[in-house]
Amino acid sequence: MNLRQLNYFRKLAATEHYTEAAACLFITQPSLSHAISELEKELGVVLFEKYGRNVRLTKHGKLFLPFVENALSELDKGKKTLQQFSTGSGGNIDLAFIYTMGEQVVPQLIDNFCQHGGHEDITFSFYQGTTLSIVQDLREEKFDLAICSHVPDQPDVEFIPITSQEMVLVTSCDHPLAQQKRRSLDLAEAADYPFVYFSRKSGLRQLIDSLFLQKQIVPKVACYVEEDTAMVGLVSINYGIAIMPRISALSRANVNVMTINNIGQKRYVYLATLKERSLSPAVSAFKDFIISFSKTTLLK
């Protein structure tokens, strides 16, 4: 069984006439008859029966036709997808990103990319999660690109820095540290208070661990969370204090934000791609745009 035979079968089922079907297929009638005969031999059933001067599908032919139509339809979709892939005129980009990038950075990237000419037919599918889950799914090729923290020991993943965030200390407004009306403090001054801490699934965990290690402080952990908005909410009710990026949500929350003195580190966010994976023209264009846009805007 081959595609030629299936196409011939579908056309003959539509026309119910050998001569007409052969003309539509630009082949001779004997060639069509031979192809149908070979298909029937392989399947072990008769697909067509004579009906006056025409033919019509047998019971077996009627059972077989929907499967043939579905198979050929799916193959046509695949062909169109590959043609779109090769021409670069459009396509869909699967983009994953960590939670803090969803409010400003990703919308900013999409908006500026779509304003560039030639990208009108490109669409996006978005996914959110923690860095570890995103990188794992990226390696399984569930996404084209990811915006996340750096993960060590990933030799098959390329991490390109695209933006940075200041790390700050956040407390509730009625916390003792907030009552001092200070804009900054040393990390050691917060060491006696319990922290709302990022879980190991978060890309920030390694950075924050290193900050405490650098100051030789063992933090008291009140609880662990995976994403920033939960951390802000728990801090606002004085469940603990937290070290986290200075995100826009902090300006709208009932919390106090202070700069941490002498930590010497920013939190960098990266564009992650698989090194050996070929990218469609649409994905390549968006990747190049992110890198260029980050150099002129996001990393300034």
Half-sphere exposure of 158 (CA within 13 A, CB side): 11
pTM for this model (two decimals): 0.67
The CA distance from 94 to 138, in Å, is: 10
Give the tokens for residue 268: 């960098």
Domains contained in the chain, CATH given: 3-87 (1.10.10.10), 91-161+268-298 (3.40.190.10), 167-266 (3.40.190.10)
* Predicted confidence band of residue 300 (pLDDT cuts 50, 70, 90): low
The pLDDT value given to residue 196: 96
Note the pLDDT of residue 37. Answer: 94
Pairing of strands 145-148, 157-172: unpaired
Mean pLDDT on 29-40: 93
Mean pLDDT for the chain?
Answer: 89
Q: Find, among 137, 149, 146, the residue nearest to 97 by Cα.
A: 146
* Spacing of C-alpha 244 from chain mean position: 24
Is the pLDDT assigned to residue 53 strictly greater than 80? yes
